Structure 1
Amino acid sequence: MATPRSRSAEPATRTERRKAQTRQKLIDAARGFLAGDKHATVSIQDITDEADVGFGSFYNHFATKAELFEAAVSEVMEELGGLLDDLSSDVDDPAMAFAQSMRLAARLGVARPETAQVLVRHGMAFIDADAGLAPRALRDIEAGVASGRFRVGEPRLALATTAGALLAVLHLSLANPERVTDATCDEVAEQLLRMLGVPLDEAREIATAPLPDASAVSRV
């Protein structure tokens, strides 16, 4: 990705740029509260103080706290999804693309615990979202089915299983960081490939293939 976060095209006027900057400050503050699991108790005043913007500015961008926090979670999801897309852009095999994205996303638990906290606490609610990780994972699963690489009857069920596995690994990485290694992340990808119908030996080979620079994940 050109930048570590997904952003819309730069606003054309100074006023629009200022409004976009204020909105982003609010979202960034919300991400911090989400990672610390403080979103349920913070007030709008707390949010605007953390963002260093005027209290009235909040309502120029969001109607409620819930709307702000939904935007913040969506941003985290979209950033990570975009990064994984970029890292897999030259991968033609759907099974390899799926496994690579899973292995890199799982490594997020070690690389960026703050983002992992957001995903663990709020990610399951976005499994049917139109943007972020879920539609990209579903795309890779459906591509694998279409190519004959995967053998599943219901791709969305496979998506739900994949999401559950990722969130469980991230939870484990936060609770017991020493138990989640690169080998752990690869084993989860191997097990998911086997669930999708890839033979054992091939699944293991795919799940241990060289990865692109995983340090890029820490920028999300």
Structure 2
Amino acid sequence: MPMPAPRRNRFERRRAETRQALVRAARQVLAESGGASASIHAIAERADVGLGSFYNHFAGKPDLFDAAVADALEEYAQAVDERLHGVDDPAERVAGGVRLSARMAASYPEIMQILCHSQLGRIYAGDGLAPRAKRDVEQGMAAGRFTVADPVIALTLLNGGLLALLELWCNQPEADSDQAAGAMAETILHMLGLSPDEARDLAWRPLPAAA
């Protein structure tokens, strides 16, 4: 019979809570201004954490901001996974992921502002969207849904399309992001190897309802 995992002691819990408080504060700062002018002291104060405790968790502000972006993107990636739960076709998951990401400004405005104020390329950093995109591309290739021979090229197509959509929103927030996302998803699926008709069908298919 497997032994239950040991419960974290009080010190470990407090340490984790302190780190998460700093990450939350950094997310707020990044969303508001991009963080360039924020001092470590100001971030620690916002987190209600002593300045000395900051360096028990992070080497400096860039280290903290990297953790904050990764935390925000992991939260968003989990939400996309939940929304697309039950969708088995990797091609439909790719289309759904692109379209849901275009709605990030409305559903997750803090994360969208973080990306606009920092570097859009960070959307595929860390453990957030990157492994999910890789999973869908590899499964699509293994199932014969995608005919692109090189998975790196397939991921580049997907990443480039999503970055273009997010840049459009950052620079032109009044643009019709749903329309642009559907068109981008259709183009990506066709470039990955689906027929024009199937790419169009999947790209404009109603998204699964939110839970």
TM-score band by shorter chain is: 0.7 to 0.9
Match of 1:191 in 2: 187
5+ residue gaps, structure 2, are none
Aligned length: 206
- CA RMSD of superposed structures (Å): 2.2
Match of 2:96 in 1: 100
Q: 1:111 and 1:180, CA in 2 relative to 1: closer, same or farther beyond 3 A?
A: farther
TM-aligned CA deviation for residue 13 of structure 1: 3.0
Secondary structure of the structure 1 residue equivalent to 2:193: coil
TM-aligned CA deviation for residue 204 of structure 1: 1.0
Of the three residues 46, 67, 71, the one matched with 1:71 is 67
Match of 1:122 in 2: 119
Q: Does 1:208 align with 2:195?
A: no
Distance (whole Å) between structure 1 residues aligned to residue 49 and residue 149 of structure 2:
50
Q: 1:70 and 1:112, CA in 2 relative to 1: closer, same or farther beyond 3 A?
A: same
Q: Does 1:22 align with 2:18?
A: yes
Match of 2:137 in 1: 141
5+ residue gaps, structure 1, are 1-8
Secondary structure of the structure 2 residue equivalent to 1:39: coil
Deviations 1:142-189 (A, max 9, x none): 111111111112212221232222122122223322213322221111
Q: Name the TM-score, length of structure 2 as normaliser.
A: 0.87
TM-aligned CA deviation for residue 52 of structure 1: 1.8
Q: Is the 8 Å Cα contact of residues 25 and 51 (structure 1) preserved in structure 2?
A: yes
Bigger shift: 41-50 or 115-124? Answer: 115-124
Q: Does 1:112 align with 2:108?
A: yes
Q: Is the 8 Å Cα contact of residues 146 and 192 (structure 2) preserved in structure 1?
A: yes
Deviations 1:101-129 (A, max 9, x none): 111112113333321132343342464x4
Q: 1:112 and 1:86, CA in 2 relative to 1: closer, same or farther beyond 3 A?
A: closer
Distance (whole Å) between structure 2 residues aligned to residue 84 and residue 59 of structure 1:
33
Distance (whole Å) between structure 2 residues aligned to residue 79 and residue 112 of structure 1:
10
Q: Is the 8 Å Cα contact of residues 138 and 156 (structure 1) preserved in structure 2?
A: no
Of the three residues 30, 34, 52, the one matched with 1:34 is 30
TM-aligned CA deviation for residue 83 of structure 1: 1.8
Distance (whole Å) between structure 2 residues aligned to residue 149 and residue 157 of structure 1:
15
Distance (whole Å) between structure 2 residues aligned to residue 71 and residue 122 of structure 1:
14
Distance (whole Å) between structure 2 residues aligned to residue 99 and residue 74 of structure 1:
23
Q: Is the 8 Å Cα contact of residues 109 and 170 (structure 1) preserved in structure 2?
A: no
Secondary structure of the structure 1 residue equivalent to 2:78: helix
TM-aligned CA deviation for residue 18 of structure 1: 2.2
* Greater C-alpha radius of gyration: 2
Q: Does 1:152 align with 2:152?
A: no
Secondary structure of the structure 2 residue equivalent to 1:46: helix
Distance (whole Å) between structure 2 residues aligned to residue 184 and residue 31 of structure 1:
27
- The amino acid of 1:23's aligned partner reads R
Identical columns (%): 48
Q: Name the TM-score, length of structure 1 as normaliser.
A: 0.84
